[in-house]
Amino acid sequence: MNAAFAMPHGDSPPPDSLVASKNPNSGKEERRRTVLIVDDEHLIADTLAEILNDSSNFVAVALYDGASALEWVRGTSIDILITDVVMPELNGIELAKSIKSICPKTRIVLLSGQAQTRDLMQQARHEGYLFELWPKPMHPDDVLKRLKQDPV
Amino acid sequence: MSDWDLGRSPWYLRYGAAVVFVMLALALQFLPAARQVPFAFFFAAVALSARICGFGAAIFSTILSVAMADFFLLPPRFSFAVRGGDQLRLLFFALVALVISSLAKKKSEADKVADERRAQLAAVVESSEDAIFNKTLDGTVLTWNRAAQEMYGYNQEEMIGRNVAGLAPPEKAGEIAGILQRLRRGERMAHFETERVTKDGRRIDVSLSISPVFDTEGKIREAATIARDITNQKKAEAALRRAEKLATAGELGATIAHEMNNPLAAVTNLVYLIRKNGSLDDKARKQLELLDHELARMAHMTRRTLGFYRDTSSPVHADMRQIMDEVLEIYAGKLQSRAIKVQREYQPHSEVTVFPGEMRKVFSNLIANAIDAIRRQGTITIRVRSSHSWNHSALPGHASR
């Protein structure tokens, strides 16, 4: 599988399963939420995954194309999908729709700095999909803050 | 010839005049010198009647002349009796008089038609929206219509007899000489676009159609110019070009912003990760904080640039004040460098359903124009208020020095 695991920083061991990992730093039985990050720009996906893994609230995996992401989701369920919109082959919105059908509870966040995104979003909304659209670039502090909040 | 034409006067005037002519001829016929030519003055009376009073009056004066000549001049005098030889002479006179009458009638009709046609042509020239004037081949103005007066500001008295070279701006002084030279060669010029200066010193863009006018012998004696003021058309074209340029610049900016967003996102993430690294000293931490701040500025800029281009396919609810502020932010640097102040007079409740990108383009154009108009130092007042009347809200602001 064409996937790169972004390992959590520090002493915490890599999670053997993304589904059942627990936050080792908190005494409570709070589950770290699993995040799948998809961006054809490797560096963006990798660094964002590292940031999320560092935060102790999330366990993140970075992938670089829609097909790999779909394959991943078939094997493992995820809590949150953060995907770039404009990507070669499968775009973020199509990917989000497919993942929504496989795993309906997944929170979907689309990242985009592109002009045509709003129209694509509107089209998706007409089809009954409500996705979050975040601007790109977004400061990591804001990303973490928003991910900890409930979707608007 | 209308001064000497009773053709449309009441019948008694026309026939009265015919009687007067015949009586005058009779009186002149009594002069001793006229004895030899008994009908000479009657011919003149008939011709005059035909020319001035019309065909009917000419026939009437012919009959009257015959009667007068018979009664007063031909022996036996003071009697209508006529001797054999005189009968022929009277008949000959009557025939010639009839021919004169009909010739005079034809001539006056032809004159009338020509006059009418000339008047029609003059009316067309006079009522034309295009400036029309004639000039000699050395450029001396011969005729000057109403539209020419309005367009150039000079009236007929000021222009007729003057040279058209005075209408060209100083840097185009040679142009008129060139035009006249081409005219002398018989060339015509259609839709020649150039600049002219009006009486009050305004520059106008004109489209000239100039053609030589040939006389009956086929020689070029003068030239006719039709000039159209295309200043507004030129302005509109320039505005369109400018808008297109702005749109292109907006698209280009948006493309660059797109391209920048990805590396920017990666760098922002990297800086965040480095800042989290515990092994940094205070100085490095401080510098990274500055770096982070600058990156945020860059992100802000790319988002603004995209705002110009990025738009929805259907109108959305937007606050005009916010849109205006965003546009002003783009021009902040330009405004500052030209010492132009911006006075915002915003009223609340300025939400409208619009295409924000399109509105940004409109406001951007208006503000760019205002900045250009002021050049240096001044104030741009921008009012945003809700109105349902198009007349009052045609322009959102105005510029003042």
Q: Does A40 touch chain B (CB under 8 A)?
A: no
* CA neighbor of A72 nearest in space, from A58, A84, A61: A61
What average pLDDT does chain B have?
A: 84
Considering only CB atoms, B268 lies closest to which of A111, A115, A140, namely A140
Q: Does A118 touch chain B (CB under 8 A)?
A: yes
**CB-CB neighbors (< 8 A) of A114 in chain B:** 258, 261, 310
Portion of chain B with pLDDT greater than 70, in percent: 92
* CA neighbor of A10 nearest in space, from A20, A22, A25, A21: A25
* CA neighbor of B64 nearest in space, from B31, B105, B21: B21
Q: Does B273 touch chain A (CB under 8 A)?
A: yes
Query: Please, what is the Cα angle at B148 between B143 and B151, to 5 degrees?
Result: 160
CB B228 within 8 A of CB B133: no
Considering only CB atoms, B266 lies closest to which of A41, A54, A119, namely A41
Whether the upstream peptide bond of residue A137 has omega within 30° of 0, thus cis, is yes
Considering only CB atoms, A139 lies closest to which of B258, B268, B276, namely B268
Report the pLDDT value the prediction gives residue A27, as an integer from 0 to 100: 46
Q: Which of residues 58-97 of A touch B (CB under 8 A)?
A: none
> Which range (A30-39, A118-127, B269-278, B374-383) has the least confidence?
A118-127
For the residues of A54-100, what is the DSSP string, one character each? HTSSEEEEEESSHHHHHHHHHHS--SEEEEESS-SSS-HHHHHHHHH
Q: Does B303 touch chain A (CB under 8 A)?
A: yes
Q: Does A103 touch chain B (CB under 8 A)?
A: no
Report the pLDDT value the prediction gives residue A22, as an integer from 0 to 100: 44
Report the pLDDT value the prediction gives residue B393, as an integer from 0 to 100: 43
Report the pLDDT value the prediction gives residue B329, as an integer from 0 to 100: 82
Query: Distance (Å, rounded) from C-alpha B346 to C-alpha A148?
Result: 37
Question: Inter-chain contact A47–B261, Cβ cutoff 8 Å?
Answer: no
Considering only CB atoms, B272 lies closest to which of A43, A51, A117, namely A51
Report the pLDDT value the prediction gives residue B309, as an integer from 0 to 100: 53
Considering only CB atoms, A115 lies closest to which of B295, B299, B310, namely B310
Burial class (CB in 10 A: 0-12, 13-18, 19+), B33: exposed
Question: Inter-chain contact A137–B272, Cβ cutoff 8 Å?
Answer: no
| ipTM of the predicted assembly exceeds 0.85 | no
The nearest alpha carbon in chain A to B265 belongs to A137
Query: Distance (Å, rounded) from C-alpha A91 to C-alpha B68?
Result: 116
Question: Inter-chain contact B262–A113, Cβ cutoff 8 Å?
Answer: yes
| Residue B312 pLDDT level (bands cut at 50, 70, 90) | low
Per-residue pLDDT of A56-81, as tens digits, reads 889 999 999 999 999 999 888 899 99
The size of the A-B interface in CB pairs under 8 A is 72
| Residue A116 pLDDT level (bands cut at 50, 70, 90) | low
> Which range (A3-7, B114-118, B368-372) has the least confidence?
A3-7
Question: Any bridge partners for residue A108, and if so which?
Answer: A81
b/e sequence B109-125, b meaning 16+ C-beta within 10 Å: eeeeeeeeeeeeeeeeb
How far does CA B269 lie from the centroid of its chain? 64
Radius of gyration of chain A (CA): 15
Whether the pTM exceeds 0.95: the reply is: no
Report the pLDDT value the prediction gives residue A23, as an integer from 0 to 100: 44
Per-residue pLDDT of B27-46, as tens digits, reads 888 887 777 776 788 888 88
